[in-house]
Structure 1
């Protein structure tokens, strides 16, 4: 009887080891916080504790199961939160950043769920690599000049195998918020991208379309966003470049309550940056510039009220520098300074405080 019990225990332990080998689940995340000094034009200087300066605070679960013959199934569940207050990143969502189920094999990867667009700088399937700091470090981030997209519900993405350094990326959302109406009344996202890797060179080209079916009574045209990025690692420094042409986009990050209907706005935008190893850490420098025009000046609303514009052209310019010093493989200390300004339409007194500001600060970023 003792032999039977021992054999059963060994068998159960073997089954447990086999299951662990076939299926792996990882808990991961980042925690980021900083002391920020910020000054917007026309407003008081503020000193505050902020979250997500060098990358958002998130936690997530990631798992894979090996199906054999080169195939696997995986899932990724990720939620954002505010380190300084403990609040969830987006109310009402258990997994606000990503929630995907994927199948991988010799054909590439196919995934479904909630995910960031191809040029969003959000999540696992964004492929745009135009800046050493992405959308981080407040005014220096790309979102202050570029159209950086969003996280979309009801999405499907396909990533091809690599062919001589080249990969194809295709993404579609059947309803960026909801797809409970007939197809013609849901808002959709379409993305097509190519990435190319050759030694220290990385290239990406992306075409995205956001339609506004739920706004069709207001004759709101679909947005077309064309984004390019290039980076090259010279080892002594890595250089980044990005360009974007945004046609008929309808909102800017700095004015949450503003919307331009009809043909919206057009804009050309450029970014140039570098990251340089220095004194045990990394120095990151960026400059972003964009200029454009409001195409439907008679369809601008602010707080749902019509606005009469004195100008229809605009420009935006931001610069920033950040230094990240490694305390360990998973933790770094950082400091930064960033400045943003704007001209023409965005220089108007009613909105200039949203576009003209600066910030400096110190923070700590930890990965687990």
Structure 2
């Protein structure tokens, strides 16, 4: 539930114009206690890309079902169907009180724009089009703890310096965006894959760290379908690579109590010289089931076919199965259990093929030496305001 801080009507001195303005405070606080076996260290140059022997861990975590955040959302009616809008959203670790997203104050979203009957145009830090299109077709609903979002949509799923168009026309939603400088950097986690990314917006280097993409989805009645594309051109050495992803997806709702969904995502990453860094196919399928008004379950299976990783074409393909059970005490407070088992990768399908994107930003889910599977379970509470 969201609470409106204030709403006011401003009338100009001449009495010729009138504007309605509102600002809403909202947020989520999510915290849990987790057990995970077989946890190693994130490979880096400092440890010679060695995850070590690892072991089991019991810890308190932030954001098991939803990323903890607080935000401000505002609108102003400019007349004639035109509105100005803004969103400022800050992500934080509810277990420690520290900021997420690299310490950004508003690291989840920070944008302003205009909304009209023909769609909205926004400027700032935003989710890219592929991520937003996928949102209605991923069973886990981007549950933070074990969702392999870095593989599905890419580590650049939030982008700085972005211009984005979103149009909603009945059941049809169309999106397109351009980023002048993504602001994401992937450190070197394997000898064959170099450091990639940066802030961009460098004079004389228009392509540096730029990105663009589009998405189209249609949801009407029980059926839903979607397609999306994303390309990120991260700085690598003195040039730019090209990281590309394209996806198709579908869903089907059953009697208002269940929903089945799945899809396929193609991926290809090349370095500044056009050399193939990674080629993979990603598949997912699963569903949501509402057992009662207060209790629902989510099941998701993910599989990554890694065809090439830095020249290695014989890699054991990662897969994961995850289950979430959620019980709502009210519209604002719920408790949940989330659990997952992964094979040939850590939880969230963490491996060199995902650039360890989740482990670099949250907790380590890296497989240690001598292990090929990982199991985790967490029990938590979430409060929405």
Q: Scaled by the length of structure 1, what TM-score is found?
A: 0.79
C-alpha deviation, 1:137, in angstroms = 5.3
- 1:252-310 CA-partner distances (Å, limit 9, x unpaired): xxxxxxxx98311111111111111124310111110111222642xxxxxxxxxxx6x
In structure 2, do the counterparts of structure 1 residues 244 and 65 end up closer, same or farther at CA, with 3 Å as the change threshold?
same
Aligned pairs (5 A) from 1:258-297: 262-279=275-292, 280-294=294-308, 296-297=310-311
User: What is the number of equivalent residue pairs in this alignment?
Assistant: 320
Distance 2:182 2:204 in 1: 14
Q: Is the 8 A contact 1:130 1:271 kept in 2?
A: no
Distance 1:190 1:80 in 2: 24
Q: Larger Rg: 1 or 2? A: 1
Aligned pairs (5 A) from 1:352-367: 352-353=367-368, 356-367=373-384
Residue 222 in structure 1 maps to residue 222 in structure 2:
no
2:220 to 186, 198, 201: 198
Distance 2:100 2:221 in 1: 37
- 1:168-192 CA-partner distances (Å, limit 9, x unpaired): 2111101112314334352111111
Residue 184 in structure 1 maps to residue 206 in structure 2:
yes
Distance 2:329 2:175 in 1: 36
Larger helix proportion, structure 1 or 2?
Answer: 1
- 1:158-211 CA-partner distances (Å, limit 9, x unpaired): 11241x632321111011123143343521111111111211222221011111
Q: Structure 1 residue runs of 4+, over 4 Å off?
A: none
Residue 79 in structure 1 maps to residue 90 in structure 2:
yes
Corresponding residue number in structure 1 for 2:9: 18
Gaps of 5+ in 2: 1-6, 12-18, 40-52, 184-198, 346-350, 353-365
Q: Scaled by the length of structure 2, what TM-score is found?
A: 0.76
Partner of 1:119, secondary structure, is: helix
Corresponding residue number in structure 2 for 1:27: 25
In structure 2, do the counterparts of structure 1 residues 173 and 272 end up closer, same or farther at CA, with 3 Å as the change threshold?
same
Q: Is the 8 A contact 2:134 2:249 kept in 1?
A: no
- 1:16-71 CA-partner distances (Å, limit 9, x unpaired): 85249700000000000001011126532111110011010000000000011111
Distance 1:76 1:187 in 2: 24
What is the CA RMSD across the aligned residues, in angstroms? 2.7
Residue 132 in structure 1 maps to residue 145 in structure 2:
no
- 1:66-94 CA-partner distances (Å, limit 9, x unpaired): 01111100100001000000001134422
Corresponding residue number in structure 1 for 2:264: 243
Distance 2:296 2:32 in 1: 18
Residue 207 in structure 1 maps to residue 236 in structure 2:
no
Residue 168 in structure 1 maps to residue 174 in structure 2:
yes
Q: Is the 8 A contact 2:139 2:285 kept in 1?
A: no
Corresponding residue number in structure 2 for 1:107: 118
In structure 2, do the counterparts of structure 1 residues 183 and 107 end up closer, same or farther at CA, with 3 Å as the change threshold?
farther
In structure 2, do the counterparts of structure 1 residues 205 and 249 end up closer, same or farther at CA, with 3 Å as the change threshold?
farther
Aligned pairs (5 A) from 1:28-107: 28-40=26-38, 42-107=53-118
C-alpha deviation, 1:95, in angstroms = 0.7
